[in-house]
A and B are shown apart, each in its own frame.
Chain A
């Protein structure tokens, strides 16, 4: 299992307060989520950068602006994404699943197993190449934003089966 308990990592033990309930050991997601997110960001930002550079060389130096803004965003992403990925954590407790996300805008979601309606496992072509998958939990509420990206496929499958089993054991009506 590639997910390491959070207390092994200084960046997560630093976060205390409301988003770290006592006696919760966070599971981390695969660091391969970092390249996955960066490649996606680079693919979208590279087009204006290249266009800007070409135009700046050929037409006018003002086009360096066009290239500079997305390039700056790319650098920002390079710095931010690894931290974002490290900030994602989940924990299986006896009766519910906790998912924590975000650095600037932090969210913590508690999903009781008995409330789960179904579980999705998704992996796009890039994700498959990198060997990660996303597990998404659905409750009867559309507001439940509970997905865990960047799981190793084995872990994703284990989690899916475990969640389904626990959900069935505890299923209640709506």
Chain B
């Protein structure tokens, strides 16, 4: 919504009065801190067992020690339980038409408000343990740098789904069916036992401005049905496995394993195996992570945007509303050429950079591996119409973007021949093409890549030129996108061409921004 006040959390004090706070599921602290709890219990039991052994030995002399030990164990458990209960009690969330609120923390209180019109993505995450309990965590991503999201969790699975549908509907600009703003949110159906009726034992929170509204009468589930979705593609596990086997890193790993085996056989030194172990574990861990993270990948389309589901142990259901994808990249590593497989990734503002590799990489995947048609379908999910001058030529343009080079190009503007010395391998691939909706940046000969940036998502533009480039009259053009795996770049263009592109692209981006759709994506249609 371009006419709203920018950058200011639109929470008025009047709006806060009728906020209705909800609690998360009581098991949450244990699901979150299970590792710590297990470790503590383990340590405690060790202590207790030791003490028990000692105590049995000394039982005759000091019978009272039993009670001390038991008391200690009970005390530790009580402290853990008390902390967990307190942590749970202090965590609450609320949703109104403008904002999602979350408050948490015992000593250091934190209140977080996420503006729904700035919502970038909603993820429902289920770690393994949470799946066993039937719980899920809801993550609202807003574009505020790393760790700016709001994680509401854990909730019962059905509640999480309902809350997601509600949040997306509100973010889309579909007002909940009740005139009394937040009294009938779907989350209110979570059950009376999870409702925060007041905030006792916490004077700071008991201010009248934040007092919660008691439910008046029976709960009426808000009429916000989950937006219908249509399955677009899914990745069978066999293809995923085969694609992983076709990664150069895997072959490198296998080869080094063979080398280690030979070395062990020849020298009869088993210690070599141990020294190679970390590397093997590293490669194996990466492959397993890719497999587990991208297992059962399904992409669907709904009015709320793109829905992605994936995960073997920890599952994740992502919803990326329309217009939230900042850039798309389609890449192909050399061994994927035979089956013509491609990998599609996206930049989404809330997902942050790739510094958080394990999670970050998974979140940014739009298609882990798929044939060309599926890769183009994935691109279509983001940009349904590229607005090529001649619509019939769209496929030909995309083919050129994926595999073409300067010898066959019809649309792409590529590096001039004098760039050959600076980039002997891929100078024919370096290039760009412009359509009505997006800029296509192409590059890479061994690892082919195509980056697509919608004009209205351009953040800023850059031009760089090193001394060698200047001598040959070349310059590289960069499009700056939000943090993520994609940083679009066109290398070694003719310098006059690059300058022209810079000027034209900033004008195009400006025009596209002026006509960009509303932040609340359903508002236009109402």
Contact = CB atoms under 8 A, between A and B. Distances in A.
Contacts of B513: 112, 114, 172
Given A112-B513, A117-B7, A139 B480 contact: yes
Interface in A38-88: none
Contacts of B462: 107-110, 143-145
Contact of B460 (A18, A118, A144, A171): A144
Interface in A94-121: 95-96, 104-112, 114-115, 117-118
Contact of B487 (A111, A143, A172, A173): A143
A146 interface: yes
A141 B496 CA distance: 26
Contacts of B6: 168, 171
Contacts of B458: 112, 115
B457 interface: yes
Secondary structure of the B side of the interface?
A: mixed
A140 interface: yes
Contact of B516 (A112, A142, A172): A172
A125 interface: no
B457 A105 contact: no
Nearest to A118: B7
Interface of B: 1-2, 6-7, 118, 120, 143, 323-324, 326, 349, 353, 456-467, 470, 475, 478, 480-483, 487, 495-496, 498-499, 502-503, 506, 509-510, 513, 516, 519
Interface of A: 17-19, 21, 95-96, 104-112, 114-115, 117-118, 139-146, 168, 171-174
B432 to A, nearest CB: 15
Given A19-B463, A111-B460, 12 more contacts: A18-B498, A18-B502, A104-B466, A112-B510, A114-B513, A139-B460, A140-B459, A141-B481, A144-B480, A171-B2, A174-B324, A174-B457
B464 A107 contact: yes
Contacts of A21: 499, 502-503
Contacts of B498: 18
A109 B465 contact: no
16 contacts: A17-B499, A105-B464, A107-B462, A108-B462, A108-B464, A110-B461, A110-B462, A112-B509, A114-B510, A141-B481, A141-B483, A142-B353, A144-B460, A146-B460, A172-B2, A174-B143
Given A105-B464, A107-B463, A112-B509, A143 B480 contact: yes
Contacts of A142: 353, 482-483
A115 B481 CA distance: 11
B510 A141 contact: no
